[in-house]
Structure 1
């Protein structure tokens, strides 16, 4: 597969999973409505005070991260290519009494779909692997930012994609393989036992260097790249739960499982 039909494959897969994600324990929508924060501590610390600032969340899925930024004082807009996901996000916003704008559009069409510039563009956590062209994505981000604004990206570390599925300590796959990855699997990360009609998906591998280079080529100035030793789900069978995250057991060598990046658009 050359990956050219990735939207036609991936959209129905994501559409079908929305009801399971809204109802399941992984996203815990009821907990969010009751006041549980959705964002990770490192994201809140790295982004800083968002009071009164405009924020666009690209590939927002059902919008919980978007709405958490709104709770913290941002004026938010979320964008996703799945209409059912955007419908769910609007429903959660209405139930929570949070003012937010949600738009259905492909991420590459975000400038026209959103029709505005923002102080902050936020994205990540399983987003970039669905996109074939990082240079085009970074250009979209740059065009959405006000001068002096910044991108904050949180993402799963690509090192995790090359390690064995059992322990996550042995290299088993090629880090530099950039061919589209086609999968045909039932279930979802939010409910491994769920059954669906649409089981095919197409993903794309990007190294950390690919991401940084694309962001820099778009004219953004990288302020930091932080690597984190935990992840949000049991990516490897040996990982142990530690509150809301998963880590390697004590004494086992650690590897980066997530990373975060902040890059700003120059004022002149």
Structure 2
């Protein structure tokens, strides 16, 4: 199957980002290898009471996947960037993780047997790369066992409409919440903002909160929904730490992130 225009543009960016992020202090590879967790306080709380075999789609270079493997009996990470998966395997080997495996795959066609996982964990920065969310969630439902859990934690759709303002500490609305579903954007690297990036153009998806919830409820029973005033990266100027790998912004006009825990019927 041929890739879409947006998939090609985004894959070029993620192939380039993989090598850049291996050396980035943001991903703290050496700390993860030595046993520290890359998971935010929100992630850890959401996963704390879950067990079994976990699927981690869109795993990028695998630092979160390695951290997740310290919670579950087995974790399978996959990403559509072969370069990212190669780096993820190297990081996992360096960390001595025996519960982690990685494979190249498309989130719309997950390389796994039906009913083979207890948990599917879709976290930070994933939803903007998913254009057909109902189809992806249907595929996650397929690979989860009856009674299995879907856990999503990501940037809140409302906050995606805001960018840094002038002065830089000010957030200003730059997009309409009910606007275009696909946005072409030229971006610097979020982890290494001073780095020269060759493939700056990306195509991002936009979902409203109601669209996300409807897609989840089409196949899952909602267990919990939360909104937060923090993010797992410093998306805006003037953010301060508010937990392990979390930052918040004072007087923020919108929720910055959300989480969903849902269970297979």
Matched pairs, number: 257
Distance 1:72 1:239 in 2: 29
Say if 1:79 and 1:103, in contact at 8 Å, map to a contact too. yes
| Secondary structure in structure 2 of the residue aligned to 1:182 | strand
Any conservation in 2 of the 1:130–1:203 contact (CA below 8 Å)?
yes
Residue 23 of structure 2 is aligned to residue 26 of structure 1: no
1:114 is matched with 112
| Post-superposition CA distance 1:136-163 (Å, at most 9, x none) | 0110111011001010001111111123
Aligned-pair CA distance for 1:102: 0.5
Deviation at 1:176, TM superposition (A): 0.6
When residues 168 and 205 of structure 1 are mapped into structure 2, their CA distance, relative to the original with a 3 A threshold, is: farther
- 1:155-205 Cα deviation digits (max 9, x unpaired): 1111111234235655442101133111223x3111001112222111010
**Do the aligned residues in 2 keep the contact of 1:233 with 1:246 (CA within 8 Å)?**
yes
Is contact 1:147-1:265 (8 Å) kept?
yes
- Cα shift at 1:232: 2.1
* More strand as a share of residues: 2
3-state DSSP class of the match of 1:109? coil
- Report the 3-state secondary structure (helix = DSSP H, G, I; strand = E; otherwise coil) of the residue aligned with 2:207: coil
Report the more deviating stretch, 69-78 or 159-168. 159-168
Q: Is the 8 A contact 1:228 1:256 kept in 2?
A: yes
1:173 counterpart (175, 192, 201): 175
Aligned-pair RMSD on alpha carbons? 1.8
In 2, Cα distance between equivalents of 1:40 and 1:232: 6
Structure 1: gaps (5+ residues): none
**Is 1:50–1:69's contact at 8 Å kept on the other side of the alignment?**
no
For residue 95 of structure 1, give the secondary structure of its aligned residue in structure 2. helix
Matches within 5 A, 1:1-12: 4-12=4-12
Whether the aligned pair in 2 keeps the contact of 1:229 and 1:254 (CA below 8 Å) is no
Shift in alpha-carbon separation, 1:253–1:101, aligned structure 2, 3 A:
closer
Judging by fraction of residues, say which structure has more helix: 1
Residue 59 of structure 1: aligned partner: 58
SS at match of 1:202: strand
131-140 or 227-236, which moves further after superposition? 227-236
Within 2, Cα distance between the matches of 1:89 and 1:31?
Answer: 14
Deviation digits for residues 224-266 of structure 1, max 9, x if unmatched? 11111111222222323445322123xx255311111011002
Point out where structure 2 has 5 or more consecutive residues left out of the alignment: none
Aligned-partner Cα distance in 2 for 1:215–1:163: 25
Show the counterpart of 2:91: 92
If the length of structure 2 is used for normalisation, what is the TM-score? 0.91
